[in-house]
Amino acid sequence: MESSSLRIGVLYDEWAETKEPAVEPKPADVPKRKRRRDKPDREEVFEALVKKGHQPAYFCLDGRPKTLKALASAEVDLMFNYTGSGPGGLHLAQDKAVAKRLFAFHGIRTPNFATVYQGRLQWADDVHFPVIVKPKREDGSIGIAFSAVAGSIKELMERIDALHADLNAPVLIEEYIEGRELYVSVIGNDPPVALPVIELNLDDLPEGTPRIAGTEVKWERGTAAYRKTKLRFPEDLSENLLAEIQETAVKACQVLEIRDYARVDFRLSPKRKFFTLEVNPNPWLHSTAEFALAAKQSGREHADVIQEIVDLALARYRGISQASSS
């Protein structure tokens, strides 16, 4: 779909009072920094929209009346952050226990699990040690450190207690699948298309460290765990296996009513048996993240991916508008 120049709002959250609001770049600005800084994803999205001929504008969501009023009165054709999955898909995907039960019902292999909250058992499969203990509803590896893997009742109880104290929320206890961490990004709706499989290589983590994508690996820059984990496209997996994983990713998205774009996380055992862990709707769109790298591997440039997401949302909203006016 070819979309004309649109006024597109780029919504971002900012809660720290010391942070400065995002500044829209001016064509005449000359960068004075000698060292290239890391751009947040909102800046990359903004620049991609400009590159595609749109008129983006930042809108900050920090809870202050001033910014809420600005958001409510925004005169835009589309809020970029309103692309992707709606409330239904977000609810099903972000409640990991609900998602896993839906996976099991539809024949999608997922690790056995149990959920507990404040001493009450909410759901339980026949779960065997070792297990990984994580929040039932968080994303971005929140609450998942290397200590999340428990091999005994004592470690399990300590981990549950720590998560209840930190987050005061239900806990998911999932069988730990020893093996490799694979991601499949999915884009489109009719039909959804699976992008190339990408792997987070955890082989170089220190001896004795669980091979998981915890907070140390994802967010703690400067640490050995962060430096020694890299994304790569696996070359030792058969085409049939890769195709089966991609087909499962698309099916998982459809089961959870995901739309536009998503990333599906898998574990692959040494015996080449794969397990679906979760679906991440509206994943991180930074050019160095899994979704953008997989898109590039498929022949899509970053700006083209952003435009494709805009077009998917426009097709939906214009369809609703036409239906309501007829």
Q: What CATH number does the domain containing 235 carry?
A: 3.30.470.20
Residue 319 tokens read as 């369809």
Three-state SS at 274:
strand
pLDDT of residue 25: 61
Q: Quote the pLDDT of residue 54.
A: 97
Give the DSSP letter of residue 22.
Answer: P
For residues 22 and 148, state if they share a domain.
no
Q: 46 with 115, same domain?
A: no
Give the per-residue pLDDT at 24: 63
Residue 311 included in any domain: no
User: Within this chain, do residues 5 and 58 fall inside the same structural domain, yes or no?
Assistant: yes
Q: Are residues 164 and 237 in the same domain?
A: yes
- Structural domain contains residue 314: no
Distance CA 92, CA 281 (A): 10
* Residues 45 and 131 occupy one common structural domain: no
Task: Give a yes or no: residue 251 inside a domain.
Answer: yes
Residue 315 forms part of a structural domain: no
238 within a domain of the structure (yes/no): yes
Please report whether residue 105 resides in a domain.
no
Say how many residues make up the chain.
326
End-to-end Cα separation, the chain, in angstroms: 22
pLDDT at 321: 46
pLDDT along the chain (326 residues), means of 10: 81 65 56 61 96 95 88 90 90 96 98 94 93 88 84 96 92 97 97 97 90 83 84 97 98 98 98 97 95 98 97 84 47
Q: Are residues 127 and 266 in the same domain?
A: yes
Question: What is the DSSP code string of 129-156?
Answer: SSEEEEESS--TTTT--GGGEE-SHHHH
The answer to whether the beta carbons of residues 262 and 185 sit under 8 Å apart is: yes
Could you tell me the residue range of the domain that residue 232 belongs to? Answer: 87-94+111-300
Residues 144 and 224 in one domain: yes
Q: How many domains does the chain have?
A: 2
Shared-domain flag, residues 70 and 161: no
For the chain, counts of helices (H) and of strands (E): 10, 14
Q: How many whole angstroms separate alpha carbon 258 and alpha carbon 214?
A: 24
Residue 123 lies in a domain: yes
Same domain, 117 and 67: no
Instruction: Kindly state whether residues 78 and 186 are assigned to the same domain.
Output: no
Domain contains 179: yes
CA distances to 61, 74, 322 from 79, rounded to whole Å, are 13, 9, 19
- What pLDDT does residue 221 have? 80
Listing DSSP states for 177-193 in one string gives --SEEEEEEEE-SSS-E
Q: 77 and 127 in one domain?
A: no
Based on the domain organization, do 121 and 44 belong to the same domain?
no
Given this model, what pLDDT does residue 74 score?
92
The confidence score (pLDDT) of residue 318 equals 78
